[in-house]
Chains A and B, each alone.
Chain A
Amino acid sequence: MTAAQPLPDPLAGPEGTAAALPEAPRREALYFALRNKKLLIGSAIVGSLLLLGILAPFFFQNGPNERIAPPGLEPSAQYWFGTTQFGQDIFVQFAHGVRSTFLVGVLGGGIGAVIGMTVGFVAGYKGGWIDEILNMITNVVLVLPTLAVLLIIAAYLESRGIVMQSLFIGLTTWPWAARAIRSQALSLSSRDYVDLARLSGFRTHKIILRDIAPNMSSYLFMTFILLFGGSVLAAAGLDFVGLGPTDGMSLGLMMHQAVKWGALQLGVWWWFVPPGLGITAIVGSLYIMNVGLDEVFNPKLREM
């Protein structure tokens, strides 16, 4: 599940998203950041859910799978999100689920970003046959339907953990990022200062890390956010099919259990509404945050 769509094509995008950066004073970016509603609202939602995921599990002694209450209770003051057909506290499940959602996002998105950036930078900077080969690999992984590949892998894993899941997600979602970064790096690597560095005999990885990457930092961050969102959605899909973590709790797994035990037919809406809402809120807010960031870093998009 790639999230390529929300990111404007970097090649086609207003010229110099990344290039405009070095000149733009940081203070100016901050000024716009603090006034950008999309960025503020997005980060507020993501931030509060993150806090919930980190802190809330500490306030409950019982784990997400423990049966501690009468089954099928509607949301109430005692059980905020109600209970499952097995008497599990849905709010506790939700808090743990949010926690794993962020974990999958950071790990999966992070792994995807590292691979995508490495492939993209090397291909864009080196060019020639290295570019050809990396391009070929990128295209192959790009057209492979991610979820189908993940399904086949996950189905054969005896025990599945969140880290393993993130690893496989990261290994399959990077191609669009590699493509986007490649085209950006391509245009940056023809700039004078990169030529200068090359002439001065710096090594490739040094030039990429020192001269190219910093000039694209905002772009890279936005790419990471999209990969984060993509990983969360991919993980949710896997969990929903029943290939989620074998122990622990995730938002996708909650929906899987809700469907499996007939929450739909029984009308236990509080079982499947919160997890999906949580995912939508996290990923949606991240995307909207991204638009805000784009407006902050790309002066052309700022409202005057």
Chain B
Amino acid sequence: MSLKVSDLRVYYRTLRGDVHALDGPTFTLADGEIMGLAGESGSGKSTLSKSLIRLDGRMRYVGGSVELDGTEVPIWDDAAMNRFRFKEISIIPQYSMSAMNPTRKIGVMIAELLESRGVRFKTVREELHRRLELVGLDTEVLKRYPIELSGGMKQRVVMVLSTILDPSLLIADEVTSALDVSTQRAVAEMLVEFRDRRFVKSMVVVTHDISLVYQIADSIMVMYAGRLAEKAPARTIIEAPRHPYTRMLISALPEVGVTYAEQRLTGIPGSPPGLLDPPKGCRFRARCPLASDECATEPPFVEVTPDHHVACWKAE
């Protein structure tokens, strides 16, 4: 097992109280697995992915544990996390286009970052050049400022930089949302390439676009209102979803392979419950066509068939 998350709870502190943004997901990620993480905005998918690398100011670790390659990851301790960041856990942020210091030459910025993490730039320079060429970039880009590169080029530089130290886990946060369709495809394929070449061991690809992630992911995990709804091999999620929410998501897809806007997901009648004081029992109950009395009790996230986990009483 590469990554093991158990009962992880991260809340947002607000004036009115804690928002239970991430309420106890438990799952594992195998070596070499690319997992798509899907859900509407507010489902907790970005809270989960951020928690794995860096809690932002308003996030509060409440409980649960994260284990990477058998080592406990102290996500509650910002300073101790620095040991893991970049080297063990890395991220391709959503904002790749503006992730680089605009007033530094890219090569200088990379060198300074690496040196600051105790890595001699000389020792990785060759590999950096190789990988830039792999993603179709001239090594000349290192002598340029970010403003001189196109959006797609910046994205690729960030992809290479984030994985240059061969992290065990890579979080790709909505990496395709700012790109046009053909570039999306290329970026997605590059992610697979990175895994195949063992630049990264396993990967969490956060997306609102199931149809795109379906093409590259081994498995897909669907979240709803801070909890896990379903996790299964990608094909299973698309072809035989068990959770009513997943089913509605999939049926909202016009056709696999066609991209759709985020609004589609919210096109399901009703809206997710407020997480300030989340309802007891199944959180999808209010919108669920199958809901019944037993749904007043929270359904456990259980393995119904091998590798297929669902949190629903009706999923048998």
Chain A interface (Cβ within 8 Å of chain B)?
Answer: 28, 31, 304
In the assembled complex, B58 has its CB within 8 A of some CB on chain A? yes
Q: Does B17 contact A (CB under 8 A)?
A: no
Provide the bound-state CA to CA distance between A28 and B15, in Å.
Answer: 9
Determine whether B314 belongs to the interface, using a CB cutoff of 8 Å to chain A: no
Q: How far is the CA of A28 from the CA of B14 in the complex (A)?
A: 12
B13 closest partner in A (C-beta): A304
Within 8 A of A (CB), among B36-95: 57-58
Residues of chain B lying within 8 A (CB to CB) of residue A28 = 15
Which B1-42 residues have a C-beta within 8 angstroms of A?
13, 15
Secondary structure type dominating chain A contacts: helix
Q: Which residue of B lies closest to A302 (CB)?
A: B15
Q: Which residues of A contact B57 (CB under 8 A)?
A: 304
Q: Complex formed: what's the CA distance from A31 to B57 in Å?
A: 21
Residues of B within 8 A of A304 (CB): 13, 57-58
A residues within 8 A CB of B58? 304
- In Å, the complex CA distance between A28 and B13 comes to 15
Binary per-residue interface labels of chain B (149-181) against chain A in the complex, 1 for a CB within 8 Å, 0 otherwise: 000000000000000000000000000000000
Question: Which residues on B sit within 8 Å (CB–CB) of A31?
Answer: 15
CB of B80 to closest CB in A, whole Å: 22
Q: Which of B125-167 contact A (CB under 8 A)?
A: none
5 tightest Cβ-Cβ pairs between the two chains A and B:
A304-B13, A304-B58, A28-B15, A31-B15, A304-B57
A240 to chain B, nearest CB (A): 42
Task: Determine the chain A residues whose CB is within 8 A of the CB of B15 once the complex forms.
Answer: 28, 31
Task: Give 5 CB contacts A-B under 8 Å.
Answer: A28-B15, A31-B15, A304-B13, A304-B57, A304-B58
A295 to chain B, nearest CB (A): 13
Complex CA–CA separation, A31 to B16 (angstroms)? 11
Q: Which residue of B lies closest to A304 (CB)?
A: B13
Q: How near does chain A come to B257, taking the closest CB pair, in angstroms?
A: 30
CA distance A304 to B15 in the complex (A): 8
In the bound assembly, the distance between CA atoms of A163 and B15 in angstroms comes to 46
Highest count of chain A CB atoms <10 Å: which of B13, B15, B58: B15
Shortest distance between the CB of B316 and any CB in chain A (Å): 42
A282 to chain B, nearest CB (A): 32
CB distance from A221 to the nearest CB of B (A): 23
CB-CB contacts of B212-253 with A at 8 A, as 1s and 0s? 000000000000000000000000000000000000000000
B240 to chain A, nearest CB (A): 39
B13 CB contacts on chain A under 8 angstroms: 304
- Residue in A closest to B16 when the chains form the complex, CB atoms: A28
**Nearest chain B residue, comparing its CB with the CB of A28:** B15
In the bound complex, what is the Cα–Cα distance between A216 and B15 (angstroms)? 24
- For residue B141, give the distance in angstroms from its CB to the closest CB of chain A: 27
Q: Nearest Cβ distance between residue B79 and chain A, in whole angstroms? A: 20
Bound-state Cα–Cα, A31 to B14, Å = 13
> Would you give the shortest CB distance from A301 to chain B, in whole angstroms?
12
Question: Whole-angstrom distance from the CB of A11 to the nearest CB of chain B?
Answer: 15
In the complex, what distance in Å separates the CA atom of A304 from the CA atom of B58?
Answer: 8
Question: Looking across the interface, which residue of chain A has its beta carbon closest to that of B58?
Answer: A304
Q: Output the least CB separation between B75 and chain A (Å).
A: 19
**Minimum C-beta distance from A263 to chain B (A):** 51
Closest-by-CB residue of A relative to B60 is: A304
